[in-house]
Structure 1
């Protein structure tokens, strides 16, 4: 009997030893970066360990947690939830602050990965609470960084800053350099989203300087992370080619190091840069590759995010029907409360489509759906609302919406200033926190130091505090100066608005008075030739319609809704079309047209041909109205290293040197011979200026060699 017991005990001991050996091997292999193949192999080992039923509670919790993380990385979320559910059940049998926190952290991580940032917040707050209570500072830093990310995606920047400060504090307490770098990198991303790109780049440069001092296995990861940050920063600065170059580097490393979802996200960002540069064919390829990966991984919200980018591409290409179909399908799939960011983003694109297709009633309906979410994009909201109401003929409410848009712009400027100030103040608090931590460590060493050394350190502390106070005072003074400057600009904008309203009122009053007089004369039979009077009335109404149309186009330019249908055309071909247009307009008005162009080959231009025809038509009408007959007009084409130049010159009379700088001001009238009352709106040159600026070009006025006015237009080459 004793022999049987001894054999049984021996067999049991061998089984336990083998199990512990397998567990130790699993722990060793789980550390560090892994390829997809290695992660699959680790899942097999984890399942074998769990099936052996020889692990104790802590070992089982470790395996379940790590297996769940592997599945999150591979985007197999159903398996993740199975492992986490078993971990949750296990925690009912024993108490562990560490694994209670890890359970919530994993669920928060999975929610973020799936795009459910709203659901992630509660999990991550609970995780940070458990880790803080257990004084597990490394894990607390991770939880607070994830929490900051979730808040940022929900546009809760103040909460994001607070969570990030907690992450930085925990990283310092853990004395982990890579954790500090991770928190700093996330702070860099927050700066980029708040348009503090210079500070973001400053942090990234500091990160690059630290990378050579990290372990070799970590250097490649941090270099890839820094490339991503640089790509984001250059995208914010509008340098899309540099941004694309860095995203391409990230993509090459993603294929070696990361999971499939990271590759899909990088492909989508590369597609976005191509769209920004007008390279739609290549963008379409990247978006489709990203969609194929995300669809296989079954991440619906990530799929929708990429589809929204595709719809934006269709909109930029003028493919309005295709953009409308995609966006309406997307909105039907989204929960307006939980997926607020995606819902609002898709809604604004769909509203833009409706406005371009003159479906103004549907635009108003969609605006009503997102009215409660308009705070962040209030300026765009009221701009679209004004445009839609104008299209429906509701000019009174359209004007009210226009006023709300200007008020929203003012509030947005103030809010951005407050958020940026909060971020900078947070950074000051972080620096002070670092100083306090170092001071606490120094105090322990100072217990054994001599009295003279103590006095020296005390003096240094006072000096540093004085420097900090001085820096705060300087920062406060600079901030006050910036706010005063912003207030000055806002006041100038309000004065310009008042002046514009006064000028428009004056322009409308005179023709309306004339209309009233003629109508009264007709009513009382005081005119001998009614047909002639009707002709005058019709002409005056045409002039009023022209003025209203010009004011509407300028309002579009002011609100950023002036859209261009860009296409690539050879400069020669475009010039010949425009010259033919000028000849058709001038041929019946006793004006001789001379056409000049260079013989050297010309580059292609990316332009909206219809808008350029509108500009040349305005210039031609000005020459017809203000040039003595018979007269001359010269239309010329030339080029520089970077621009193609169109010049339009006419013969006398000219414009005085004092009036030249004011020609592009709205409703400006010269006091000399070129101010004849010929029925123009006084807005033609202002519209020309806005159209050319929308093309990225320049327009200027000068004295013409023919004795009249010369308008020169510079358009950038492709």
Structure 2
């Protein structure tokens, strides 16, 4: 597909669209194709500057995704240098975006902010509508830089600005939701974090954005890890790593390895944890990303704590701290210091532990929840050393911070209530204003209405006449409809009587013939003749009983004796009774393993009647050496658990038209079948009546075995 598009050099829009798709799913291929296109004369800066610039831009983006940062920096620097800000402001802004992206990969937050703000300043005098996508990218990078500095207020502010400008651009919209979700997660608002991550994931699934899918899976995995749901976290991080490795972005691959290491460590699998984390350290060192390397090393230090090698853990954590401080990565520094505190506690090094606690408490990004935990640890340390006074003071600070935390939570709740009250107040004010305008309009309308009183009376009179006329028509229609319904009911009653008499006539005729043969001593085998008589009498008795039961269901006479019952036990009893009949035919009766304790509120005898009728139907109509398959299971129907009984058989099958009539009284799909095989013709109709009386549903459809499948759905108690 791509080669066809690129062959059409005159269609630049299609070329760019195809390149964007490849950039998300296969950056290596996008890099090669963009480099080939750049060699063509019609994509030179003189003939088509936009295409030439965009191809260089795509090459740099692909190189960033593949970790080829030096090559990307050369292109970004060249594009920045050759474009004058007064003449080519937009091109220069796009070049600063590339430089900001590269700075972000190297964890240089100051450079990210400087370049992002420079790009936004260049776009101030440009058409906002045309450049909103570029602005969204710059705001997104600004948000990322503030998040790295643990300034979540500014991070959220710029992420929301990026979201507003991304409307209509699905990939950027998904990225913004994902970014906001990460900020809420870091801020401790898990509910809002999951909401935005799910929005991002759904958008990325629609657009098949593989890298975006990986980001969403990664961040949802983080939330599951923080919630202690480690198997779910492991599943999401593994999926993210698989996508990252297929795309080849070392930045994302390293992060996924680090997160897998954290989860394995929490699960006690130290060997796997160390393998993943060391792989992540190797990649981050190769990328020259000190902040990411420091984070990976803090994870490795925790691995050595778990192994009991505390000296090694302390050495690695100190190296990580130096990297984080030099990179000015405040959040990473906070993470490393927490690891150092854990190491000091494990070493029983009280002085070091207190030092780290003081430093952590002095850091602006240490939240109230962390602060109260640190004060609690401090109080414990003083108590163990016998300094009761300092222990009391630390405990007092713990209580103060705890009160402050509760106050903060209460304030947040009060703010939400106040916002809701303000919204209601504004709605009431708006409603009052609308009423005042409506009153003024009513006064104007009243003057107009006074001039039209005569016309109004005429219209009212005409309306009364028309109402009377239409009412007479409606009465006539109702009378016609009633007559039609009576005629239909009479026709259905006559048809039912005809069907009943027809069904009775056949066994009665056979019964009469057998009696006459006996009466005139013509029948050679008297015992066999009496057997036929008894058989026909039993058939008549079954038919009359079925007709009676069907009539009772129609008239709502039968009262169900519902009680909690184990459906598996009821089904097993009936199947055991039927096995000899199936073996005699012969016909295979297969039942799936039944679930234990499947309790449902049913009338046990009526439920058994459903199974008996369905098995009788299958036994009668399935060819010899055929198969009947029975199963009982719990299924999810739109979030509601239901019990599903399934009876499927082999050939012969039925058409769609025949299946739609199969629950009608006395209906037989094949009129040539013997009525001895067909039973009363009411079994399936009675099944449907019993199921409906239980508030369930029954359907018939074509079976994979070649015959018919009946499915009965009942609500679980």
Structure 1 length-normalised TM: 0.50
What SS does the aligned partner of 1:183 have? helix
CA contact (8 A) 2:295 2:335 kept: no
Shift of the alpha carbon at 1:94? Answer: 5.2
Does the alignment pair 1:280 with 2:240?
no
Shift of the alpha carbon at 1:221? Answer: 4.9
Per-residue Cα deviation, 1:209-254 (whole angstroms, up to 9, x for no partner): 5566x45xx3555544443343233223210111111111122222
Does the alignment pair 1:332 with 2:322?
yes
Shift of the alpha carbon at 1:280? Answer: 1.4
What SS does the aligned partner of 1:31 have? helix
Q: What is the match of residue 105 of structure 1?
A: 97
Q: What is the match of residue 302 of structure 2?
A: 312
Shift of the alpha carbon at 1:46? Answer: 7.7
Q: What is the match of residue 523 of structure 1?
A: none
What SS does the aligned partner of 1:198 have? helix
Cα 1:81–1:337 change in 2 (3 A) is closer
Separation in 1, partners of 2:162, 2:422? 13
CA contact (8 A) 2:380 2:391 kept: yes
Per-residue Cα deviation, 1:605-634 (whole angstroms, up to 9, x for no partner): xxxxxxxxxxxxxxxxxxxxxxxxxxxxxx
Separation in 1, partners of 2:336, 2:244? 28
CA contact (8 A) 1:364 1:385 kept: yes
Match of 2:222 among 206, 221, 232: 232
Shift of the alpha carbon at 1:147? Answer: 2.2
Q: What is the match of residue 151 of structure 1?
A: 146
Match of 1:166 among 161, 165, 174: 161
Q: What is the match of residue 187 of structure 2?
A: 194
- In structure 1, the gaps of 5 or more residues are 1-17, 431-718
Does the alignment pair 1:31 with 2:20?
yes
Q: What is the match of residue 704 of structure 1?
A: none
Cα 1:178–1:37 change in 2 (3 A) is closer
Cα 1:396–1:148 change in 2 (3 A) is same
CA contact (8 A) 1:117 1:153 kept: yes
Separation in 2, partners of 1:161, 1:417? 22
Cα 1:67–1:426 change in 2 (3 A) is farther
- In structure 2, the gaps of 5 or more residues are 1-6, 424-717
CA contact (8 A) 1:98 1:130 kept: yes
What SS does the aligned partner of 1:167 have? helix
Cα 1:127–1:309 change in 2 (3 A) is same
Q: What is the match of residue 72 of structure 2?
A: 80
Q: State the structure with more CA Rg.
A: 2
CA contact (8 A) 1:36 1:74 kept: yes
What SS does the aligned partner of 1:335 have? helix
Structure 2 length-normalised TM: 0.50
Q: What is the match of residue 608 of structure 2?
A: none
CA contact (8 A) 1:336 1:343 kept: no
Does the alignment pair 1:362 with 2:352?
yes
Separation in 1, partners of 2:245, 2:145? 26
Q: What is the match of residue 89 of structure 1?
A: 81
After TM superposition, the structure 1 = structure 2 runs for residues 348-427 of structure 1, keeping only pairs within 5 Å, are 348-373=338-363, 375-376=366-367, 377-390=370-383, 394-415=387-408
Match of 2:133 among 123, 130, 138: 138
Per-residue Cα deviation, 1:24-63 (whole angstroms, up to 9, x for no partner): 9975663222535325525744885799876665555434
Cα 1:65–1:415 change in 2 (3 A) is farther
Separation in 1, partners of 2:113, 2:160? 16
CA contact (8 A) 1:46 1:67 kept: no
Separation in 2, partners of 1:144, 1:336? 25
Q: What is the match of residue 260 of structure 2?
A: 270
Separation in 2, partners of 1:99, 1:407? 54
Shift of the alpha carbon at 1:166? Answer: 1.2
Separation in 2, partners of 1:184, 1:321? 42
Separation in 1, partners of 2:422, 2:299? 38
Separation in 2, partners of 1:427, 1:107? 43
Separation in 2, partners of 1:141, 1:153? 19
Cα 1:405–1:188 change in 2 (3 A) is same
Match of 1:261 among 251, 254, 262: 251
Separation in 2, partners of 1:101, 1:93? 8
Separation in 1, partners of 2:420, 2:171? 19
After TM superposition, the structure 1 = structure 2 runs for residues 669-688 of structure 1, keeping only pairs within 5 Å, are none
Q: What is the match of residue 427 of structure 2?
A: none
Q: What is the match of residue 246 of structure 1?
A: 236
Shift of the alpha carbon at 1:327? Answer: 0.9
CA contact (8 A) 2:77 2:95 kept: no
Separation in 2, partners of 1:177, 1:417? 37
Cα 1:339–1:407 change in 2 (3 A) is same
Moved more, 350-359 or 25-34: 25-34
